[in-house]
Structure 1
Amino acid sequence: MAGKNIAEPCVQWQVLQGMSIASVRRMAGDRDVLEILKNLGMRWPESTGNARGDDPVVLWKRPSEALVVSKQAGRTGELVALLEAGRSPSGIALDVSEQITVLEVRGPALNEWLAQVVDTYSLPQRGGVTNARLAEIHVLIFRPEDERVWILVERTLVSYLDAWLCHTRDVAFSVGVVQ
């Protein structure tokens, strides 16, 4: 991209620290999970690619699973306690805060950069979420704002994904790549 000031990256990212994340699973016909979420001021996403709420936000992952994500450490604890194994015949919530990392990516060229690294069908609209593959690994992409996305990835793969993202940013925007 000629004319870009390479001292100002077109996209930047950081690991969001202290995130509280719960995986919530429910069986067909479940009412327990829906009722517990409602009592906690949350709602299950209605359809593919939906997200509900601000903090915490409930992200659709698949028809039977959603991730509840909060910037407040421990915020999902009550949900996990209410839906611990054996408490509901049709649902469960597990604390996955130590297994999943959230990368926040932002910048004025976010759409252009994302189009270089993800299939364009995998680009969520504002407030949407999608399953995607980056660097041949599964990620969940949530778009809370037009110029900001969260990439949720397994914690063990963060270093690899970070290196891959740096490379793709540098190649896509010709930022001093050494051949």
Structure 2
Amino acid sequence: MAGKSDHPVLAALSLTFSVGWSWAAYAFLVGWFCRTKTLSALLASAGLATGVTVYYVFKALSPAVLPGATDVTVVSISPGILFWSVAALVLGAPMGLAGHFARRPDLLALPFQLTVPAIAFYEATMRFEVETDPGDAVGLVTWTVVRIASVAVALGLVGRAGWSLLRPSGGSSRA
């Protein structure tokens, strides 16, 4: 609904939260908070599939119609629900597992921790290059901020991992 507003902040929020990386981040966080691998995979997939269904139901019930849309019916959005629900079930499990494995206390967690920033950077770059018109200030700023933020998060994670290699372990070093 925020995307149907003319306010630039709401339009930026709509862009940010309706793209794939934000859904991937949700599945990742579900996996991060689950205690078992099985639960991480199942709940991430189920949560994404539920989110997709709710998203399309609200989209169908929304009284405002997007510019250019003529006859938006439940029948016309049901292929979207089906496609994205299957994608949620298939892709939710690996993202949930990535979140679960990112909690590891060792350096092997780093590739899993970098998953969401990498997805965000790649998707924002593709959307910046392909979908954003030169006159679309909201799109240009949004995708630029997402790219800068994802690089900053990735550098922070790598720096933290490097720092953990340099500092002594948590055990006592007294003789």
Q: TM-score, normalised by structure 1?
A: 0.26
User: When you count helix as a share of all residues, which structure comes out higher?
Assistant: 2
User: When you count strand as a share of all residues, which structure comes out higher?
Assistant: 1
